[in-house]
Amino acid sequence: MIAIPYLTALTTYFSYGLLFAFGQIRDFFRKIIDWSSANNLQGYAPICLGLEDFYIRRLYHRIQDCFGRPIASAPDAWFDVVERYSNDNNKTLKRTNNVSRCLNLGSYNYLGFAAADEYCTPRVIETLKNYSPSTCSSRVDGGTTALHNDLEECVARFVGKPAALVFGMGYVTNSAILPVLIGKGGLIISDSLNHNSIVNGARGSGATIRVFQHNTPSHLEEVLREQIAEGQPRTHRPWKKIIVIVEGIYSMEGELCKLPEIIAICKKYKAYTYLDEAHSIGAVGKTGRGVCELLGVDTADVDIMMGTFTKSFGSCGGYIAGSKELIQYLKYTCPAHLYATSISPPAAEQIISAIKVILGEDGSSRGAQKLIRIRENSNFFRSELQKMGFEVLGDNDSPVMPIMLYNPAKIPAFSRECLKQNVAVVTVAFPATPLLLARARICISASHTKEDLIKALEVISMVGDLVGIKYFPAEPEKQQQDERMKLE
């Protein structure tokens, strides 16, 4: 749990209160001014209700230039950010023909495969020539190529499961699979900070949903014991099925899941384990096989393994890996497999090639070097940020490191000042995070050099002093420099 300093919480609440008050005053006067020219359709309910639309109009629009920045190159260590301007106080943003070359600290390009690769790219181009950009069909019609079968075998072998099924979109992998796995009469116990795709998939299943405190196995056991004792609502019959859902690395926290303890509890109470490895597969572990490898967990103990290809593999789509019986069942019942267009053949080839590089099957040691670099880069960057006095969330080895901002005024200030120094960062605020817990989310890549990281640290330190987000005392500058010299 994040312990917010009392003064920080007070000033943050005050800032949001001030924004809310002035927004309501502006809305009041706007209604008076627009009353005479109102052109509402009689009998129709407004598509955007006042309170639902308030946050977008009065808070988000003020800082929307910090979000959705278009880029004009591959999301490598450095990329081109398209410059934009607004003539109406940020309500609309217009693109220019100018670009800024920026250091990329926002993309999920953990292993550097998003840019041109000497092994992957030629094979992807050749696949594009032999097949097409799309199969224009679902898997059960004409959308299954030899590449799709090869990819599923490759993924199953990589993650250590008997079989796998791939999908064209990572988000849909969670939101479409969960309603197939469980329904009415079943129980889903979900980590309180699970991704939105899991939340929507759980809601769509019709199962009863209970939440346990983030990454707290002891509370998970309490919830399991209580729910098993009570049974289904009203009837109190035993649950038809219980699934516990966790993530390998939590994308907004940068924390590693306490998987060994959670699996032990699930085994004790005969609950299935569903592991979302969207941010961990390929990025952590000695050979890139995710949190199971990193934490010494046998993949046979995880019933359902989910992951995406959009982060470490530089492609698109997602997968479900499990027993052969499970995968066969999903092929007959999952709407994302039956009705959605299959994953693009060039994208499938990119994944296969990336896995081969990671495993060293390309005849080089580049994959092993990438895994060493991502681990060293992540741990070095996290350590340096903490020494500077920033409040950084997450665990060692995680390439995701949120820097806490808290105050709404510091969200655009941090983002804009970093961009002025040609460092592109991602800021995250409500509703993606709780109201008080706005943050900048740094994502480190194996493609970052030490010079890139040192430049980023210098800029972030300078902006941190300017914006006032160094909530802890910093180490002496000389000590920081000595440690950097030792590392180099």
Residues of the chain with pLDDT under 50: none
Closest CA to 444 of 270, 249, 303: 249
The whole-angstrom separation of Cα 136 and Cα 340 is 10
| pLDDT value of residue 488 | 56
Contacts of 441 (CB under 8 A, 6+ apart): 106, 251, 252, 254, 400, 401, 402, 403, 425, 426, 427, 428
User: What's phi and psi for 95, nearest 5 deg?
Assistant: -80, 150
Displacement of CA 14 from its chain's centroid (Å): 30
| pLDDT value of residue 295 | 97
Closest CA to 388 of 325, 318, 463: 463
Owner of token pair 């309180």: 192
Q: What is the pLDDT of residues 143-174, one digit of tens each?
A: 999 999 999 999 999 999 999 999 999 999 99
Q: What is the pLDDT of residues 111-125, one digit of tens each?
A: 999 999 999 999 999
Contacts of 229 (CB under 8 A, 6+ apart): none
Report the interhelical angle of 345-359 vs 146-159 (nearest 10°).
30
Element (H, E) at 457: helix 450-467
| pLDDT value of residue 162 | 97
Q: Which two tokens stand for residue 45?
A: 């309910």
CB 469 within 8 A of CB 403: yes
Q: What is the pLDDT of residues 312-359, one digit of tens each?
A: 999 999 999 999 999 999 999 999 999 999 999 999 999 999 999 999
CB 174 within 8 A of CB 195: yes
